[in-house]
Amino acid sequence: MTAIILASASPRRSELLAGMGLPFTVQPAHIDETPRESEPPGAYVERLAREKALAVFAEHSQQLVLGSDTSVILDQTILGKPGDAAEARDMLARLSGRTHQVITAIAVAAEGGCQSMQVLTEVTFRSLSEEEIAAYVATGEPMDKAGGYGIQGLGGIFVKQLKGSYSAVVGLPLQETAALLADAGCIVWKHWPSRPESQS
């Protein structure tokens, strides 16, 4: 099988991909993540996923490279990772009591080209008090996460409703990633081990 490289520094993406039962190595991509002027959020997120995959593929063209990007969108505005505690507090105050979109794009670069797609999930937060926001920011959890929260962590208690893909919000949509890998010739389930006693 063609070796898989995950072009990401995100520990969440590594965990999610490992959970699919595939062997892979990690090589983070270093790209400029500045949005272009009036670039629509979906186009921005998918462009970054492709750029991450292609940056690593440029050095490993015999392999299959998976790139991904996640952004939180509120009122058509992209909320990336907060730069400091004040920005994290501001993001969480804006998300409080509202529904926002989380767009995660994935891209697979392989010999045959680069295929990509976007997954949109709607997340509704309950109202958050100022004290709760301050306590959450003080934990440090928001700092390396789009929108300033982690649904898989302490931030999970803010989420009232989710429509779409939970794994996409965490950083890697499992079903769609398996489909894109399959298109590139990597059938995920063929790599699953089976126990001898379950064969009868």
Ligand X SMILES: Cc1cn([C@H]2C[C@H](O)[C@@H](COP(=O)(O)OP(=O)(O)OP(=O)(O)O)O2)c(=O)[nH]c1=O
Point out which residues bind ligand X (CB under 6 A): 8-10, 12-13, 28, 68-70, 72, 81, 102, 144-147, 149-152, 169-171
Report the residue closest to ligand X, judged by CB. Answer: 8
Is 32 in the active site?
Answer: no
Shortest distance in whole angstroms from residue 198 CB to ligand X: 34
Shortest distance in whole angstroms from residue 50 CB to ligand X: 12
Taking the least distance from each CB to ligand X, the nearer of 49 and 184 is: 49
Taking the least distance from each CB to ligand X, the nearer of 84 and 190 is: 84
What are the tokens at 85?
Answer: 């505690």
Shortest distance in whole angstroms from residue 184 CB to ligand X: 18
Taking the least distance from each CB to ligand X, the nearer of 139 and 189 is: 139
Active-site residues, by number, are: 69
